[in-house]
Structure 1
């Protein structure tokens, strides 16, 4: 009985492998991607930072611009600045969440400054990936204009540069132009239902 199950499994996997090889043989194009991580679930920034570390592992220069969380402790920021500053430029441009600053004009000015830095980094073809952490929040509150961001990425992003944008409520225009869009969906979160505080290594 076990041998029969194993034989059927082997035969099935051979077919899957053959189909996979046939599919992959057609995937020959390489290009810099526009990537959006959005949704109400946890993991958007975490995924973006994971991609930055992957780039560093490949020896690819990259950069991070943080639009919102600048005033918060960030283990990712500390690690990248202390150990990988030669591979990843890290720019903290935000001053905290909007409910902390409580000053719309100040938030707009900070977002504009962050976007200027982001454009500078993206224009440099040496940077193979640029992470715009929480830019979607700045767009959601109209601190930046989504069409301006979209047009810049479509017309000025170097061909082989990846740009990753994170944050809830990504505007439709960014989703439209993106090559890769992932929506993180919250199913259960300890902070919301169990009164558990944000913890190092999980949230920051």
Structure 2
């Protein structure tokens, strides 16, 4: 019978081989998508991690139009963070396709500035997938810009229904599923948890 220590030693050997084989150092494109809660929240956790390593960070929000979120209130006070709320609000609230498209285009222009800056180590494109879903931005044109970003720059794109071309281009894709959500039981969005 194999002991726990023997199993862990074998596992350690496998993991050590994988770590030794991973020698490429470059910026990574991450996509957080799916219908579950936590796509943006996960990205903001990486913002904290990047700041902890002394990196400059840019966050561009494509749909969210409010500026009272807890993450924004916190990160705006941190040196090294550029935060841009570029959305006009959720589409079911604005109900104005032209205004939403114009807001997305302006947010993309801001994002492009950060995507050209080698001093920015992480760019978060929050809720950007909706710009593709509603036809506000062309995914091929966005991917062309992402491919030309500084070699060490990381990018995280969040939002539901990430298009396949974006998923294919990404280095890491997390499809966050929802098992249940408090809102379904009538609990309203609570500060500190939802915003």
TM class, shorter-length: over 0.9
Q: What is the TM-score with the length of structure 2 in the denominator?
A: 0.96
Q: Cα offset for 1:22? A: 1.7
Partner residue, 1:185: 177
CA distance, structure 1, for counterparts of residue 67 and residue 161 of structure 2: 21
What do residues 31-76 of structure 1 show as CA deviations (whole Å, max 9, x unaligned)? 1011100000001000010001100011111110011112252100
- 1:135 equivalent to 2:128? Answer yes
> Which residues of structure 2 form unaligned runs of 5+?
none
Query: Are 1:168 and 2:163 an aligned pair?
Result: no
Greater percentage in helix: 1
> What are the equivalent positions in structure 2 for 1:145-160 lying under 5 Å apart?
145-154=138-147, 156-160=148-152
Q: Which residue of 2 aligns with 1:116?
A: 109
Matched residues in 2 for 1:183 and 1:160: separation? 24
Structure 1 contact 72–96 (Cα < 8 Å) conserved = no
| Matching residue of 1:43 | 38
Give matches, 1:68-79, under 5 Å.
Answer: 68-71=63-66, 73-79=68-74
**What is the rounded CA distance, in whole Å, between the counterparts of 1:158 and 1:168 in structure 2?**
26
Separation (CA, whole Å) in 2 of partners of 1:172 and 1:10:
42
In structure 1, what is the Cα distance between the partners aligned to 2:143 and 2:18? 31
Q: Which runs of 5+ in 1 are unaligned?
A: none
Please give the alpha-carbon distance, in whole angstroms, between the structure 2 residues aligned to 1:10 and 1:139.
50
Runs of 4 or more off by more than 4 Å in structure 1? none
The total of aligned residue pairs comes to: 195
Determine which of 19, 28, 52 is the counterpart of 2:23.
28
For 1:133-175, what per-residue CA distance to the aligned partner results, in whole angstroms no more than 9, with x for missing partners? Answer: 0001121111111111111112x21111011000001111111
